[in-house]
Amino acid sequence: MKLSIEQVDLGGRRVFLRADLNAPLDHGAVSDDTRLTAVLPTIRLALDRGAAVVLASHLGRPKGGPDPKYSLKPVAERLEALLERPVPLAPDCVGDEVEGLARALKPGQLLLLENLRFHPEEEANDDAFARRLAGLADLYVNDAFAAAHRAHASIAAITRHLQPAAAGLLMRRELDALGKILEAPARPLVAVLGGAKVSDKIALVEHLLSKVDALVIGGGMAFTFLRALGHGVGKSLVEVDRIEMARSTLEAARRRGVQIVLPVDAVVAGGLDSPSGRAVSVRDIPAEQMGLDLGPLSVERFATVLKSAKTIVWNGPMGVFEKPAFATGTVALARAVAESAAFSVIGGGDTVAAVNQAGVAHRIGYISTAGGAFLEFLEGRALPGVEALTEA
């Protein structure tokens, strides 16, 4: 159990708060403030308890130096509106001027540091750079679960110089929700995996086989499994070098008594730009066509499995979800997850978008802000940003 911000005396202290404010920008303004609103409770808690907050984040992938395109200025402006208080932006994240601004902060005040990735030392987990960041505050709080799988200076090395290192409210919620899945889930536990490639999810599939009661597989990755079962799948996406792995996964699941549920029909078309498709059995996919979405029978089959679940974890769309003609299966699955009485956890950008598009986000047990960190945690891997936190 990691130390939480609520367990730390914050009064009169400067808190270095590592957040994930990596929001999409459009014409110099934040176009989606989901990640910003997610960290507001932690910021407000710290300020209300008499702390001064030094807020830090990365934005995008600047090429190892300052780049106005990746400035956190639009983030500061949006945060100011959300918090209804001033959010001054420092000219950098380290240096004499920044140290002066941090020292001048009074309880209840906030300073946003400029993009951490303007210094290549951040991604190199450089110790000297981490020590300079640590010098800005009296204690450390990490609320950036979405970046916790990266051993970067503001996530890992900084905790060698700044203690205690506590989890923010969002980080704690993420760890609680994901821990509930892996440590003591209500059963049956059903994992739903989609997305294009098996190769992206191999480690996850292997780890989940020892945890779940059923594994539902859709999206492009399903066709590699269908090929492993001997089905002709036309021009559907198949990773030929993963067919043998899919076959051995199916065999391992059979030995463990884990049900693997694959599509029985698919919506097929000539290509990604086809205006529409038609549903056919997975046994009857024409040689010149490709599967681009779940068919109605597969949706029904998947929904039946979810109905009996007590815990559901879902990552990855069921088809070429970004094309309206092939989004039906993913949206229907989102509704089936919401209608289940199970505790549900979803993660990954496309999956979150599907739940929002289906209008059922408020009926999901927990929506993770993370993509890569969410998958690595479910794979059973230690996350540097979690490991670095102080034990409670």
Strands 25-26 and 29-30 turn out to be antiparallel
pLDDT value, residue 143: 98
* CA–CA dist 194, 218 (Å, integer): 5
pLDDT value, residue 369: 76
Q: What global pTM score does this model have?
A: 0.87
Cβ(76)–Cβ(54) below 8 Å: no
User: What does the angle CA 35 – CA 40 – CA 45 come to, to the nearest 5 degrees?
Assistant: 150
Check if 5-172 and 185-378 are the same fold: yes
Taking only the tens place, the pLDDT of each residue in 153-171 is 999 999 999 999 999 999 9
pLDDT value, residue 180: 84
Q: What does the radius of gyration of the chain's CA atoms come to, in whole angstroms?
A: 23
Cβ(5)–Cβ(166) below 8 Å: yes
* CATH architecture observed for domain 185-378: 3-Layer(aba) Sandwich (3.40)
pLDDT value, residue 336: 96
CATH dotted code for 5-172: 3.40.50.1260
pLDDT value, residue 262: 98
pLDDT value, residue 240: 94
pLDDT value, residue 199: 84
* CA–CA dist 260, 253 (Å, integer): 7
Taking only the tens place, the pLDDT of each residue in 84-100 is 999 999 999 999 999 99
Q: What single letter denotes the amino acid at residue 326?
A: F
pLDDT value, residue 1: 87
Residue 153 Cα distances to 70, 162, 187, angstroms? 19, 12, 39
pLDDT value, residue 308: 95
Residue ranges of E strands in 210-357: 214-217, 259-261, 265-269, 278-281, 290-294, 311-315, 343-346
Cβ(141)–Cβ(42) below 8 Å: yes
* CA–CA dist 105, 124 (Å, integer): 29
Question: Which residues of the chain register pLDDT less than 70?
Answer: none
Domains in the chain: boundaries: 5-172, 185-378
Question: Among all residues, which ones are annotated catalytic?
Answer: 35, 197, 349, 372
